[in-house]
């Protein structure tokens, strides 16, 4: 099995994606702190954790060799991407990683 190194194109895509999402999350978190809304803050932290987990799972998926049974098709890619996004959402909601909880604990001091 050959593992391809991360190239600059993938890194640039990831940086652009994170910059876009981080500004959205930053805006949501700032608004939650301003409104003193702990529930909104907790949800934003969970969304950020889900995004992080989703990126991690999608990058891990790239290392898995192509399945000879299903092949490499757009439908398979879309389904797998949606499945991994749902996994990330579920992992963030049940607190498996604890990243959202740590962010919430740190940011809730400002609420």
pLDDT tens digits for range 61-99: 888 887 777 667 788 888 888 899 899 989 888 887 888
Give the span between the Cα atoms of 64 and 37, in whole angstroms: 41
Report the mean per-residue pLDDT for the chain. 79
Q: What is the pTM of this model?
A: 0.68
> CA 40 → CA 3, 37, 68, 74, 111, distances in Å?
40, 6, 44, 36, 11
Confidence of residue 13 (pLDDT cuts 50, 70, 90): low
Taking the CB of residue 92, how many other CB atoms lie within 10 A of it? 22
């Amino acid at each position: 099995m050959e593992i391809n190194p991360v190239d600059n194109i993938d890194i640039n895509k990831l940086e652009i994606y994170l910059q876009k999402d981080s500004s959205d999350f930053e805006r949501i978190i700032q608004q939650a702190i301003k409104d003193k809304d702990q529930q909104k803050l907790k949800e934003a932290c969970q969304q950020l954790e889900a995004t992080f987990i989703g990126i991690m799972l999608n990058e891990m998926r790239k290392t898995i060799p192509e399945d000879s049974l299903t092949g490499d098709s757009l439908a398979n890619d879309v389904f797998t991407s949606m499945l991994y996004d749902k996994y990330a959402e579920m992992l963030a909601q049940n607190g498996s990683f604890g990243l959202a909880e740590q962010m919430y604990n740190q940011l809730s001091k400002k609420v």
